[in-house]
Amino acid sequence: MPKDEVAVVAPAASGDQVDRAAPRFEVDLIKPHTQAGISFQSGAKIKVTAAQRTWLKAEKVIAGDTQEK
């Protein structure tokens, strides 16, 4: 495409899904945990989605605040 040409991209239709990566949070495990078939020991740091973080907190596998990475 020549420099002076502008490509016009139509917006996604309302029914189309937009591919967005879910934000990840780095958490510290306080208990051993298996994620995606990989076993982690207490003290390991893993990255999880917000929903996974909520579940891990409820199961007392992680503790404290976590930050988005």
With CA atoms as reference, report the closest residue to 54 among 27, 20, 22: 27
Task: Using the predicted structure, report yes or no on whether residue 44 has a pLDDT greater than 60.
Answer: yes
What region, left, alpha or beta, does residue 19 occupy, with left being phi > 0 and alpha being psi -120 to 50 degrees? beta
- C-alpha dihedral sign at 49, 54, 59, 65: positive
What confidence category does residue 7 fall into, taking pLDDT thresholds of 50, 70 and 90? very low
Domain spans in the chain, listed from the N-terminal domain onward: 25-68
Backbone angles phi, psi at 30, to 5 degrees: -110, 0
Question: Would the pTM of this model clear 0.85, i.e. be above it?
Answer: no
